[in-house]
């Protein structure tokens, strides 16, 4: 039956597949010719052909980037990745590249390759979402913080439950729901953020995108035009977008009426986007899809960060106590109110978040960009147009010159640097550059340059609020008395906390 279906499907698609195959072969030949002419040294040139190097990258990307960092520390080199060949540029080149205009160092084409947008249908052309996050969301943080804090408190309690005794929970799934609802409060407002249709879409869209991307990247890029027809998640993504449009159509209609008639307007991302939609040529359908795009950028990334932080602290009970003490002390100084200033003052929590991000990058590479026009760097390096570049962050995060004793998880590392009780190895202009949200070339957890993550200020507050309410409401422990940190899952450059791991929670007994 399955074979019958497959052959039926194949005969329907044969003409398309043949054209795609011919195109693929042509691209492959052109690209091989270019590679032969490339002057950049190739990492692992003696380790086999491109297919073998790609296979090695699939399981050992971190080691390969480390090797590249050691051999070509101040020089650009070529590397075979799951996205084909990349030029890996050294840190010092980033200073120059980041200030070049977008029509020279293009962010969109680079990111589109990362997320396989040609096949996943993810649109990243306008920068509208990034603009909205940068302008309206980040500027509203002080105003929306009380809402965010209340939502975090309620949602953590609802999702993790009473836990009168030690209760094992699949950390990632539970946190995904918490993050979806808390973020949704600001994206869509207090009612819609709790609707199951929203929660399902905002969490599963991301899951299906990742599944589709993972399946696509398991194949050589030249085979992806054909393989796409056999990846069901790609069809699911189309369905997600259709449902999102249908779900939000009446909401958008109602809000438009209110805008026309001078009614009360909501104070959330959908409304802020609607206020600017017309002047930016954004249709109602696209507005709905943008909510999915926003979920994709915001919800999984934030969930991974919180899960990794929990994995780091659950094996350090003293640290849990110290974090709680800081939270209580700062809250005491602010009459129990979690203002943005109070969050800023939680420097140990901030330091733990940054140390966790240093240890647990979600990708070994950063700054995926497309060179649209030829570039010549100050040291004479020439990067021809048509090349994809990136930089490695794993080895930077563990460089002893930048982070002394890099292989120690030091929760106080950035706390002490900010308080100037430790010498600053990087010699930043201000110690505040050791905050979680500060992007530098030595700290690229949120990317680098003008397209660095605009949502990081919101993410930082959200992560802190969720962590605060977990720590205030629950005790944590590893199942079966385990003391080792959970390992993460790896595919090529991408790394994530294991989504199946369990952490045990028990409600903190009230002392009053
Ligand atoms: C811990 C959580 C997060 C992490 C680790 C993260 C990481 C990143 C990274 C690495 C980039 C690419 C930057 C570059 O290429 O230089 C990015 C871009 C982006 N992120 Fe985040 N992000 C997080 C949370 C969020 C949140 C909460 C939002 C929205 C509220 C958001 C919205 C965006 C947008 C719109 C872009 C595209 C920026 C552009 O194209 O100019 N992110 N993020």
pLDDT at 109: 87
Atom of ligand 1 minimally distant from the CA of 369: 15
B/e letters for 237-275, b = 16+ CB within 10 Å, e = fewer, are: beebbebbbebbeebbeebeeeeeeeeeebebbbbbbbe
Report the nearest-CA residue for atom 6 of ligand 1.
446
Atom 32, ligand 1: which residue's CA is nearest? 455
Whole-number Å distance, alpha carbon 488 to ligand 1 midpoint, is 21
4 part of a folded domain: no
Task: Say how many Å lie between the CA of residue 186 and the centre of ligand 1.
Answer: 16
In a domain, 293, yes or no: yes
CB 259 within 8 A of CB 287: no
The model's confidence at residue 33, banded by pLDDT at 50, 70 and 90, is very low
Nearest CA to ligand 1 atom 16: 447
CATH value at residue 96: 1.10.630.10
440-452 pLDDT per residue, tens: 999 999 999 999 9
Asked, for residue 7, whether it belongs to a domain, the answer is no
Q: Does residue 163 belong to any structural domain of this protein?
A: yes
User: What is d(CA 147, CA 141) in angstroms, rounded to the nearest whole number?
Assistant: 10
What percent of the chain shows pLDDT beyond 90?
84
Would 15 be classed as within a structural domain?
Answer: no
Three-state secondary-structure class, residue 352 = helix
> Which domain range does residue 338 map to?
38-507
Task: Single out the residue of 76, 96, 102, 95 nearest to residue 87, CA to CA.
Answer: 76
More confident residue, 512 or 440: 440
Whether 285 maps to a domain, the answer reads yes
Encode pLDDT of 100-116 as tens digits. Answer: 999 999 988 877 887 89
The residues, ordered by sequence, that sit 6+ positions from 291 with a Cβ below 8 Å of its Cβ are 187, 188, 202, 244, 248, 269, 270
Q: 3-state class of 460 per DSSP?
A: helix
**pLDDT score at 214:** 86
Calpha distance 304→494 (Å, rounded): 12
Pocket residues: Cβ below 6 A from ligand 1: 107, 129-130, 133, 137, 294, 297-298, 301-302, 305, 362, 367, 445-449, 451-456, 458-459
Ligand 1 atom showing the smallest separation from residue 450 Cα: 41
- Ligand 1 centroid to residue 214 C-alpha, Å: 19
> For residue 16, how far is its CA from the centre of ligand 1 (angstroms)?
35
Distance from C-alpha of 51 to C-alpha of 247, rounded to nearest angstrom:
44
pLDDT tens-digit series, residues 173-184:
999 999 999 999
Dist. CA 340–CA 329, nearest whole Å: 15
Domain count, the chain: 1
Query: If you search the block for the tokens 């094996």, which residue do you land on?
Result: 315
Give domain status of residue 239, yes or no.
yes
Burial category of 510 from C-beta neighbours within 10 Å (exposed 0-12, middle 13-18, buried 19 and up): exposed
Q: Is the pLDDT of residue 1 over 70?
A: no
In a domain? residue 13: no
Q: What is the pLDDT of residue 12?
A: 44
User: For the residues of 57-87, what is the DSSP string, one character each?
Assistant: HHHHHHHHHHHHHHHSTTS-EEEEETTEEEE
Which has more pLDDT, 360 or 7?
A: 360
């Amino acid at each position: 039956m399955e074979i019958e279906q497959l052959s039926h499907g194949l005969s329907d698609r044969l003409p398309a597949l043949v054209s795609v195959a011919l195109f693929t072969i042509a691209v492959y030949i052109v690209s091989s010719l270019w590679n032969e002419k490339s002057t950049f040294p190739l990492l692992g040139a003696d380790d086999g052909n491109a297919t073998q190097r790609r296979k090695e990258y699939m399981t050992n990307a971190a080691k390969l980037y480390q090797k590249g960092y050691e051999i070509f520390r101040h020089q650009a080199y070529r590397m075979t990745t799951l996205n084909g060949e990349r030029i890996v540029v050294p840190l010092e080149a980033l200073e120059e590249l980041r200030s070049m205009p977008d029509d020279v160092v293009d962010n969109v084409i680079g990111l589109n390759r990362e997320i396989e947008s040609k096949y996943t249908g993810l649109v990243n052309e306008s920068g509208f979402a990034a603009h909205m996050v940068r302008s309206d969301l980040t500027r509203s943080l002080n105003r929306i913080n009380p809402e965010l804090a209340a939502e975090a408190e309620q949602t953590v309690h609802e999702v993790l439950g009473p836990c009168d005794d030690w209760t094992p929970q699949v950390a990632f799934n539970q946190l995904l729901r918490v993050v979806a609802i808390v973020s949704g409060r600001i994206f869509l407002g207090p009612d819609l953020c709790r609707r199951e249709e929203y929660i399902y879409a905002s969490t599963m869209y991301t899951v299906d995108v990742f599944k589709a991307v993972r399946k696509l990247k398991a194949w050589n890029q030249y085979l992806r035009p054909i393989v796409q027809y056999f990846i069901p998640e790609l069809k699911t993504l189309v369905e997600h977008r259709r449902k999102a449009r249908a779900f939000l159509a009446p909401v958008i209609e109602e809000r438009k009426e209110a805008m026309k008639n001078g009614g009360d307007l909501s104070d959330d991302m959908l409304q802020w986007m609607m206020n600017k939609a017309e002047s930016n040529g954004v249709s109602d359908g696209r507005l709905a899809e943008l909510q999915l795009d926003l979920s994709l950028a915001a919800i999984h990334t934030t969930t991974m960060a919180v899960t990794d932080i929990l994995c780091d602290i659950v094996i350090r009970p003293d640290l849990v106590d110290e974090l709680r003490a800081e939270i209580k002390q700062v809250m005491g100084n602010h009459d129990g109110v979690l203002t943005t200033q109070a969050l800023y003052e939680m420097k140990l929590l901030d330091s733990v978040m940054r140390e966790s991000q240093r240890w647990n990058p979600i990708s070994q590479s950063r700054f995926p960009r497309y060179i649209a026009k030829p570039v010549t760097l100050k040291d004479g390096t020439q990067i021809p147009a048509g090349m994809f570049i990136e930089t490695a962050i794993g080895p930077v995060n563990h460089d002893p010159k930048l982070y002394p004793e890099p292989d120690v998880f030091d929760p106080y590392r950035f706390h002490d640097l900010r308080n100037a009780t430790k010498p600053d190895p990087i010699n930043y202009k201000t110690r505040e550059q050791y905050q979680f949200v500060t992007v530098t070339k030595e700290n690229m957890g949120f990317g680098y340059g003008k397209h660095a993550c605009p949502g990081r200020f919101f993410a930082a507050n959200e992560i802190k609020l969720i962590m605060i309410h977990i720590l205030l409401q629950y005790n944590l422990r590893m199942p079966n008395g385990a003391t080792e940190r959970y390992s993460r899952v790896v595919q090529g450059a991408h790394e994530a906390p294991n989504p199946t791991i369990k952490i045990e929670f028990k409600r903190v007994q009230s002392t009053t």
